[in-house]
Structure 1
């Protein structure tokens, strides 16, 4: 433990988690101070405040609200995040090369002309009405906007790395372009609702193209290239479809209709943005209030006090703490960075290999996304898409989530047992008795759950829970006053930008699916390939969910996968709740599935381990999550659908099966297991997890046989004691 941790009179640390709630600064993130810092902070606070006001006080018209959400997010995103990593040691001055100056001048001319024309449209009430000439404002708005946006993008890519406190000229122009795009569509929304799908004006197309370019660029800056490539393939499909064979063929679309349609509530302003502008930003605000009041720090301290002294203690802390933090965090990788910066070094200290430490944190953080009651906002998204009540969804999620975390816990325990690892000394851990007296800090989550079960809307319950986080802070040394509340609102905006971008990018995919009908045809293809086999269909669904989830946060991955895959599964007779849970689990687990495993890569960066080896080990530790969805498809009681006896039977036998699975994977049951016994243990585990009486008997018999074999060989290898 760091020697800087404050120590209580009795010797135990008051807090081992100091700083875990601190904001993580990305490599390309700007950090402003002084007047510019105040301006950006005020813009962030207004952005969050607009959402909370609209959701709770006075609703804003749907298109306007969603456009403010997307355009405001784009504006803040370009101001706060550069196109490449920034330098902490950059010189104070900011020089521009000749090529960059020329690009910036041309970009500024185009975007400013378009902004001036947009202002004139509003002031003179001279909008582009339906039926207007194709050239109306084209040379003063459409062409200048798209040319200026493209040149500003090019200038931002060519700009050298500069200091964190400097606002980039190209990015300022891109932020202005985002405002112009949003302003144009807001001003013409009453026309676009009708004409975008049939006969859009050419300016509609150029505004939409500029907006899509901005969305993809911000997605690249905040989430990497994977989603950008996927969106690019879908956009290309919109034009090459007439030349593709079979179910991929479509009649083709004029560019104007195609792009204008994408930027309506059938695409970018559709279900993904509806979710990100309500549930996601609301629960990011909830997480930000917990972070600002340092409740997240309490969660981690609580986990250390409860499990830090056990064998392999820091790994078990990672399981507990990441479960608590991950369920309120919208991204697995984000949770790895926040809690992993503390738990990974401590795991290495007690003897875990760097890649194992990183993989444990990645697996646990990903599991937080399937942990009720919040599920990283997944529960609310599923309720919105399916119409199934929230309460039914969180009840159904309970057993699979518990099984997953039990599996990860058993995995790390077996690793520690096999290698003789110890926990952290008790005098270096927070005192459980002191933390237990502050258990009221769990009240915001309790209030959220109770409010939802009492029938409050998700928005009202989330707002009450957010307020509760501020209230309970008054009983701690970290009271939330006006300054802390404003900081939480500012932090909400910054934390939400990645999800705003990726949900808007996912909206492009949804729009292409809606326009081309590929979703329906894909469902037909799925049915055709699977024939009458639901199992084969589920395997296809698993693969597609994982592929779509590579590089996407859980929420966006699930929303897209649900649009593409779920209809086909439901048409095959699979219950909607089961189909959507199945898709959701694999979308979540894509974060630890090689070869693109963002949560594993984030952990590897902290642990300084090999990213690919870390992702493989994360996959191994999270193996239960790849098995359980097939089990609850065949065994409805695992989703709490059945009598209490059936549910209890499934839970007990599946828990034994999970234990055997961890034993087989780690090669240790009551002693070291050779490969023949490991294979038998894993086969017994699958039999026990499946939940049938016959399979349970087979699994139990196999487990008993392993026990007897090990008892007959008392000279099993004794674990070597490892201390670091």
Structure 2
């Protein structure tokens, strides 16, 4: 067992900085300007989200202009230590930020004039609309690299240039450049459209809420609470990482920031306890990735999902809780297995009494209680976040370090800094979403995926997973989710709804109005639909329904709530699969950040994190094939309970170890038990048989482990 202390020294700090954006120092002249600009801009956003009645388009433009200035000063246009501090680069960055503000002011001042002349562009319209798009490309390049700007250029040139030259289903007649610029800059679906609106409302308010929590000292309380709750379990330090990262991620919404903030504490703890360094880094990366799946914040995903599906935000986070818990339990199973194998359970973790920790920090729980209560009582997420921010400040007055004016300003400034790069990303991605809406390529892509999959939901999910992996090499999680949801959510939704429709046909419960639609296909089969039929017969009959009538058939046959749950399941599947770029080589920034702390090879750490985070691939299958979302209480609990044990059996199969080592035959039996509990079916006996087999393997492996020292 390694007892070498892990130093977070200058070498580790340099590695961490290499993973982040090259930024100007906070104490410099630009740093001071960013600080106070962030304070004022955060206050402006609070006003817009509470008392303001401005046009959403205008606020989106201001959101872009202000954060573009902050981002331009934070992230130099030319990377490198010397270039970042040179006066020439600073002047250029100031001009870039001022140009973005000019674009926002032009939209506000001259939009009415554009409509007064019949939406005919003059020279200034051409100039500012093109400049705004170029600035969005530049901001995306600074914050995420070249992938997103290249994607935007390819998408926009498809509209007015090379789309007409493509033959087949992806051919597009084309639109004029003037139309493209109008819809991208002045239109309500362009760079200042729905994605930008989500950015300055939900995303900003919750990022600001997280900044206030961190500044108030809640982060330290979460770590201490995690140590008390999990420190006494087998492999306690590993469970501290899982629980602490889950709690921190539930409010921060950033997997890399979560890894860096909690990893500097949990990774050394795990190493001292005897866990291998690479495994410790992998656990932290996998657990921090799960932070974006854990309500109430879930990164920006829950807010974008609410906008796409029109399902209330509070319902989305409610349905997300059990799947997220399954993911963290799956990571915890890896921790226990490795603790037994590495004998890390022999090291006792020093913890403070839970009563003492709660006595000192119970007030940090009040803002979360306020947030959840307001959401449950029907208040909007932005209003709930605003009140919760006030609750953070009030709650801090009960601690030893109450937040005064300076601390409040620090939180406002840090919230703006945290939001700057995300705001630029979301505004830029809005241009891609606009192209998809203009050209209808999303429907084409969905039809293509359905055609390739041959109507198989499993193959469709695998194709979307592959696409998310490819997109994740160049896009952050939120951007990958937006692009994939726009392109492939309809295909997954249709297949899930068709599965529910087939189940209804098999039970003989198809409503009469829906049966009448089948008269267009085979009138003789209408009477047969009143009685149960086999799955093959149901699918064969459904395949004969013309594509134009499929939507009407589903609306007639299925309950609207069931359809909305199918839509939510489709988006949830895509959202989960989009997370894999955090832990999947060759990108996996979260794993790289953990590797820098643990001083392990980055790529090897990435593969370890990928293995531990296998729940990212298993849980989406349950979302697609079971009633884990939207089912009755009995159905949901059954899927959850057997799914948890199935994940544990799956870990045993992957590792060849439970409480003790499994020989090849027992390892295979563990895989069979996992398959029995995870495979979608409606046979309770199969679930119980799989559970019984797993319990026998678990107890037998424990017996082997106890006999091993004696031998």
Give the TM-score normalised by the residue count of structure 2: 0.82
Are the aligned partners of 2:169 and 2:444 in contact in 1 as well (CA < 8 Å)? yes
* Partner residue, 1:677: 666
Structure 1 vs Structure 2 CA RMSD = 3.1
Mapping of residues 83-162 of structure 1, within 5 Å: 83-87=77-81, 160-162=83-85
> Quick one: distance in 2 between partners of 1:370 and 1:434?
30
Q: Distance in 2 between matches of 1:60 and 1:494?
A: 24
Deviation, 1:714, is: 7.0
Aligned to 1:632: 623
Number of aligned positions between the proteins = 629
Correspondence for 2:686 among 685, 691, 695: 695
Cα deviations by residue, 1:304-341 (Å, 9 ceiling, x for unpaired)? 23323544333211111110111222322221122222
Partner Cα distance (2:399, 2:4) in 1: 24
Shift of 1:235: 3.3
User: How far apart, in 2, do the equivalents of 1:710 and 1:3 lie?
Assistant: 33
Report if the CA contact (8 A) 1:286-1:462 is conserved.
yes
1:573-629 CA-partner distances (Å, limit 9, x unpaired): 531121111111112233222333222222223323222222221121111221111
Match of residue 260 from structure 2: 337
- Partners of 2:90 and 2:340 in 1: how far apart? 53
| d(CA) in 2 for partners of 1:336, 1:477 | 27
The CA deviation string for residues 402-449 of structure 1, in whole angstroms up to 9 with x for no partner, is 11111001111111111111476544x444331121323111111111
- Name structure 2 gaps, 5 residues minimum: 8-12, 498-565
Residue 569 of structure 2 corresponds to: 578
Pairing of 1:287-686 with structure 2 (within 5 A) = 287-422=210-345, 425-427=348-350, 429-437=351-359, 438-572=361-495, 574=497, 575-636=566-627, 638-642=628-632, 644-686=633-675
The correspondence of residues 221-300 of structure 1 with structure 2, limited to 5 A, is: 221-238=142-159, 239-263=161-185, 264-300=187-223
Distance 2:147 2:346 in 1: 39
Asked if the contact 1:290–1:296 (Cα under 8 Å) also holds between the matched residues in 2, the reply is: yes
Mean Cα deviation higher: 467-476 or 38-47: 38-47
Matches within 5 A, 1:16-27: 26=20
Contact 2:642 2:691 in 1 (8 A): no
For the residues of structure 2 that align with 1:466 and 1:307, how far apart are their CA atoms? 29
Once residues 408 and 211 of structure 1 are traced to their aligned partners in structure 2, the CA distance between those partners, rounded to angstroms, is: 44
| CA 1:591–1:423: 2 relative to 1, 3 Å | farther
Task: Mark the CA change 1:46 to 1:420 in structure 2 (over 3 Å): closer, same or farther.
Answer: same
- Residue 285 and residue 709 in structure 1: after superposition, are their counterparts in 2 closer, same or farther (change >3 A)? closer
Structure 1 residues 84, 696: closer, same or farther in 2, change over 3 A? Answer: farther
**Distance between the aligned counterparts of 2:443 and 2:404, measured in 1?**
52
Stretches of structure 1 that go unaligned for 5 or more consecutive residues are 6-18, 91-159
Q: CA deviation at 1:551?
A: 4.1
Q: Quick check: 72-81 or 668-677, which moved more? A: 668-677
Taking a change above 3 Å as real, the CA distance of residues 444 and 4 of structure 1, as seen in their structure-2 partners, is farther
User: Helix, strand or coil: the match of 1:388?
Assistant: coil
Residue 127 of structure 2 is aligned with which of 193, 206, 216?
A: 206
1:600 counterpart SS class: helix
Counterpart for residue 185 of structure 1:
107
Contact 1:604 1:611 survives alignment (8 Å): yes
**Equivalent in the alignment of 1:218:** 139
Distance 2:153 2:621 in 1: 32
Q: Please say if residues 496 and 625 of structure 2, whose CA atoms lie closer than 8 Å, have aligned partners that are also in contact.
A: no
Compare 479-488 and 213-222 and name the one that shifted more.
213-222
Whether the 8 Å CA contact 1:523–1:567 is kept in 2: the answer is yes
Q: Cα offset for 1:399?
A: 1.5
Work out whether residues 280 and 377 of structure 1, in 8 Å CA contact, stay in contact via their aligned partners in 2: yes
Return the alpha-carbon distance in structure 2 between the equivalents of residues 340 and 423 of structure 1: 22
For 2:233 and 2:311, how far apart are their aligned partners in 1?
41
Instruction: Summarize the Cα distance change of 1:332–1:715 in structure 2 as closer, same or farther, 3 Å threshold.
Output: closer
| Cα distance in 2 for residues equivalent to 1:34 and 1:712 | 63
More helix by share: 2
Rounded Cα–Cα distance in structure 1 between residues aligned with 2:211 and 2:437: 35
Question: CA offsets per residue over residues 316-370 of structure 1, 9 Å max, x none?
Answer: 1111111011122232222112222222233233333333222211111111111
The residue aligned with 1:150 is: none
Cα distance in 1, alignment partners of residues 278 and 242 from structure 2: 16
1:215 offset after TM fit, Å?
A: 2.1
Between the aligned partners of 2:115 and 2:707, the Cα distance in structure 1 is: 73
Could you tell me how far apart the structure 1 residues matched to 2:383 and 2:34 are? 28
Task: Give distance in 1, aligned partners of 2:492 and 2:665.
Answer: 37
User: Could you tell me how far 1:684 is from its partner in structure 2?
Assistant: 1.7
In 1, the alpha carbon distance for the partners of 2:601 and 2:117 equals 52
